[in-house]
Structures are given as structure tokens and as C-alpha cells.
Structure 1
């Protein structure tokens, strides 16, 4: 038996030491407190307290004499009685939980909290997200689209959270091993450093990523039983809804699956599924293309880049298209990421410097 943790005793209410003492007594006809202490490796007074605990639970029997000796009761009957008491206590606790829930429902307003919860504050959303993520055991489905902000919004995407620009400790809000994480990111979300890093973290543990354009809503579905989505996708600070209603969750799952089927699969870890021609490894690009790619990677649209550089929108698109062909990239996100990998964005002039050149 495992003597280093609570092991099988966690559900009985016994502390680990009492469990170890009982395991020793079961294998010995009788023993005094000193022998028990030596066997389990604790001081005699601690062994004595454990023996008295077992006596109170009717699991150990005191044998009169000097010194006092102890033996275990028949495990099937003595432990059976203890487990029966624990089951009765749990049943009473469940009944009390239901009573408390009825009180909660009666004072929580008219919005039927058993079907939909309304979270108005950012800290409420972050806490609820973390709780739902930790409770997930099978699958997490995720739609991510801009605008992205620090704090709660990153929680909508990668199995992690940020507060004030700092990541939480690893594992604090991460999905459990064995939980399948599938994410669809809006292509417009892959134009700034935060969204790129968020996607990388989300897939680092084996999560699956696909890209699509024009996602209708931000969404996370946990184990196909609960969904989290913002009240207003364009205003992340407006709060979020937690959906429990089975019919509504089923509709949101169907929405996700439809978008997933039409989205483009993507791997961010190896990127081996992105064809990279030989010339992309050997060729260089001119300074104008480098400037355009740099501005594109910061999140600027073609029209904005054209205005900054004093060129036409067609010129911007031509440079971007040529860079994509050289890199073998299919999307703007691939172009930006592969350009960074090739070092094409290093030592690039700032937007102000680019304007000064024109």
C-alpha cells in the first residue's frame, strides 16, 4: 500500500498517518504504541494519537495490560461501518447543497441562473473561466476573434490567463492532461504579438488550431455542457454569459463544429505543413517589402500601410503577395510569422522612419 500519501484513505476521512497505522495493525496480531511508532517512523506521541483516532472510529481495539497493546478490528465490518457513516454524511451534504441552491436562485434575480449566468465584472469572468477550465475533463472548444485585451480576454483562447501583462503560473488555469483543446482563430487576430503568443501557448500542449475569417463571436465550450461568451464581442469589458441550458449549448457546439470544418488546419509548433520553397531560404527582399511586412505584423491594414508609406494600396498588396509566394505562405498570418523566422523583420525602420523616407 502507498504509505507516502492519503492513498485509499482520502475518502474515509482518516488522515494519512492513521491510515498507515491501521495498515500496520492489520498485518500484526497486536502491538504496543512504541512498536507502532517505530514501524511507521513517527514519535510515540503521534502514534498514540493515531491509535486513539482509530479507536474512536471503531477501527482499532485496545488490549488491556502493561504496556497497552492494540490490534485492528476486522476490516470488512469496521471499515464498512465507517464508509456507511461517510455515505450518510455525504447524502446529508448533498441535500443541504440543494437547499442552498434554491436560496441562491430565489435571490439571484429573474434571469434563471440555472440556465444562464450574467458576469458583469472582469474579475468574475476570469475566475469563472478558470473554474470551468479546471473542471473540464474531455474537451474544450474555442473561437477567438479580435479585439483582444489583456486580462480576461486572453482567457478566451489558450488555456491560460494574463493579468497586468503577466502570465499566471503554468498549470493554474491550464487544461488537464487528456483534455482535447480545439481552437479556431479569426485570421484578423494574427496581426499582433499578443495574439501570436496566445495561439502558440494554446497549441504548445497538443491543442489543435485552425484559421478562419469573419468569426461571428468569441466562444468557449467546456465538455459540451457549459459555454462562455461575451455579452458584446466588440466590447470585451461589457461582461460575459455562462450558458448552461442544454439546447443553447448544443446550438453553440453546432456553430463551432461548422466553423471548424470550414477552417484551415494549422500547426504552429513544427510548421512543417507550410510549404517553404528553396528560394525562400536563400532569397532576400527589398527594403520596401521589409517595411510593409513589418507594418503588417504590427496589425496595420493595407490601407493604413499605404497611407503611412505614401504608396498605393495596390503596391502594398503586390509586395505582400510576392512575399507570400517566396515564403510559400497561404495567409497573412503565415507571411508575418515566416518572415519573422527568416529574419526579414529584424532591424526594420519604425513607421515614423518609413514616413520620413517617403
Structure 2
């Protein structure tokens, strides 16, 4: 039987020719085998074989007499009964698949538990992340991208890398669209961490001393859980992925005008008017100049002037630097949207919140 996927009859177990014969009989008076074969342009033997197949599944009936004549049954009842049988068969197959999967999981868990941990609760992820971070003694590699989750800062202290641990982070540029993200990245580099930016990251990822790695089960839904990978081959592959991203990413400094080795310090306080604060707060959310102008009921030129004046006051040359330094000045704290009180963005290691 040639049941093809592009045939509508394939879903109920009929091949294309059987379906064509059934369609013919549905719109024709009873006919004998020879007449059906003539209309179909096939041998009598092939027509007989297809008609008997249709009879087996109760779609056609054969009348008594010589020669026997074939009649299609009422489609609602005959096809409905066939579809019901097929649904029952599919349900049994699905049940079998579930039982086989359960048996596979039961047999596989003991073998794979030492290679991969599955963390399903946010508290599990936060606790395991902090533990792995504290245990790191050489380096932490970090890829951070939206969407971010939040962690209650009152439930546990924000984990930090230990002294002498090299921290390298690559942030997806979309992650620099609100005040909390900018401030988090700034604190992440304040202790000597290295930062780069990329327009796209394949996944969230943290690699600890190249012996363990933490990444979400589903990148688009970080709250769905995380995986802790211990397999040497897998961790090595994830570390290689990080290095590829790191090489292509653009280095960024959050302390404009100062060498990275200089003691971390915040720029001197700069006054800001309320309108500039509003504009920069909206700019930090990712809004373009035209959208900001419409939201505040001012002209696009006015928006650009405030941004330019802010850059001059901060000593910044790009909009990105303006956003970073404005966050350090605290200009965005009152206006820019962020997590609810008691929460912070989950960006990753260093002086940052939990990545998951």
C-alpha cells in the first residue's frame, strides 16, 4: 500500500488510489468491478483489490448478485467510524510511548545524574549558582541575554566572584535597555571584570573553572529551569562556544576615560534637570527619539538637544556611554522601569544577581 503523506486519505490508512475509488463511488450509482476498473483506467484485478480493501474498513458494500455491484456507504457514519477507530489506535500508541519514556527515564537517570543536573525551581537555581560561584578559583565565563528573571535580594546575599577569579562577561546589547541592567553591568566590572557586547548571543551561559556550566533549559523561558552540566566534553564545548562569542564581541568600558586597571570610582556628581532625566529614562528602555518625543509631547530636536547636553556634561561621546554614565550618576533611578521593590535583574556572576 502506497500511503503518501500528501494524500488526505493517508491519515486514515488508505492509499491514493483507494481514496480516488471511494470518491468516485460516493458520487456514482452502484457499479460492478469491471465498470469501476474502466473508469479508473486500471485492470480488473487491481480494482478488485482496492474495492475489497475499502470493504474491509466498512467504507463500501458489495451487493449480492452477478455481477456484484459496489456501493459507497454514507460518509458521515462510515468515515466517522473509521476515524474513531484511528483515534483509539493513536491514543493507545501515545500511551505506549509514555510508558516507554518512563522506563527510559528510570533507566537513564542513574547513568546521567553525575553528568547533568536538572534544576526546576528558582530557589534551586539561585542556590546552586551561588555554590558554584563560590567554588570557582580560576575563572568565570558569562553570557547574558534577555529575558531576565528576578531574585529576591532579601532572601540571600548577591553572590560575587572570589578574589583572584577572572570574570569575563559578554552581554547582548538588548540587555542594555533599562537602568537596572546598566547598573548591574557596571557593578560587574567594578571589581576588575572584563566586559564585551554582542548584538546576538546563542544562549545564556555561565562556565565555572571550565569544570561545570549553568544554562537554561529553554533560552526563551529562563524561569522554566536550568541545567548544571558536569560532563567534561560538554563543558569544554560550551567554553569553546564562549570563546568564539568573546572573540567576535566588542570590548566595552564602563569607566570612560579611565584605564581598566585604575581603582574603580564613580564620576563626579553632575546636576541634571527633570526633563533630561525623563528623556534618558525613556532612552534607557530602548525607545527611539521620535517615540520619546511623542511620549513627552515635545519635538524630536528637543529630545536630541537634551541627550547631547547630557553627553557633554558626562563626558560621553556615544548614546551607549551616556546611558552607562547616567546610570552611574543615579539619573535613571526615579524614572526608568525596573523590577519591583526587593528584586533585581538576574544578570550573572560577579557583583550581579543570579543568571537563570
TM-score (norm 1): 0.51
User: Closer, same or farther in 2 for the Cα pair 1:205/1:313, shift >3 Å?
Assistant: same
Matching residue within 158, 163, 166 for 2:154: 166
Corresponding residue for 1:296? 283
1:1-358 equivalences in 2 (<5 Å): 109=109, 112-151=112-151, 164-166=152-154, 168-169=156-157, 173-269=159-255, 272=258, 291-297=278-284, 299-302=285-288, 304-310=291-297, 320=307, 329=316, 332-339=319-326
TM superposition shift of 1:128: 1.3
TM superposition shift of 1:335: 1.4
Secondary structure, aligned partner of 1:109: helix
Gaps of 5+ in 1: 1-104, 152-163, 275-280, 351-358
Preserved contact between residue 179 and residue 332 of structure 2 (Cα < 8 Å): no
TM superposition shift of 1:125: 0.8
Higher RCO by CA contacts (8 Å cutoff, separation 6 or greater): 2
The structure whose Rg is larger is 2
TM superposition shift of 1:192: 2.2
Instruction: Provide the rounded CA distance (Å) in 2 between the counterparts of 1:189 and 1:147.
Output: 8
TM-score (norm 2): 0.51
Query: Residue by residue, what CA displacement relative to the aligned partner does 1:61-81 show, whole Å, maximum 9, x if unpaired?
Result: xxxxxxxxxxxxxxxxxxxxx
TM superposition shift of 1:108: 7.4
TM superposition shift of 1:240: 0.5
Preserved contact between residue 111 and residue 117 of structure 1 (Cα < 8 Å): no
TM superposition shift of 1:193: 3.0
TM superposition shift of 1:224: 0.9
Instruction: Provide the rounded CA distance (Å) in 1 between the counterparts of 2:225 and 2:111.
Output: 15
Give the superposed CA RMSD.
4.0
TM superposition shift of 1:313: 7.9
Q: Size of the alignment, in residue pairs?
A: 226
Query: Residue by residue, what CA displacement relative to the aligned partner does 1:157-180 show, whole Å, maximum 9, x if unpaired?
Result: xxxxxxx2438447xx33222211
Preserved contact between residue 254 and residue 324 of structure 2 (Cα < 8 Å): no
User: Closer, same or farther in 2 for the Cα pair 1:137/1:286, shift >3 Å?
Assistant: closer
Preserved contact between residue 167 and residue 193 of structure 2 (Cα < 8 Å): yes
Instruction: Provide the rounded CA distance (Å) in 1 between the counterparts of 2:257 and 2:154.
Output: 27
User: Closer, same or farther in 2 for the Cα pair 1:107/1:186, shift >3 Å?
Assistant: same
Gaps of 5+ in 2: 1-104, 261-267, 338-356
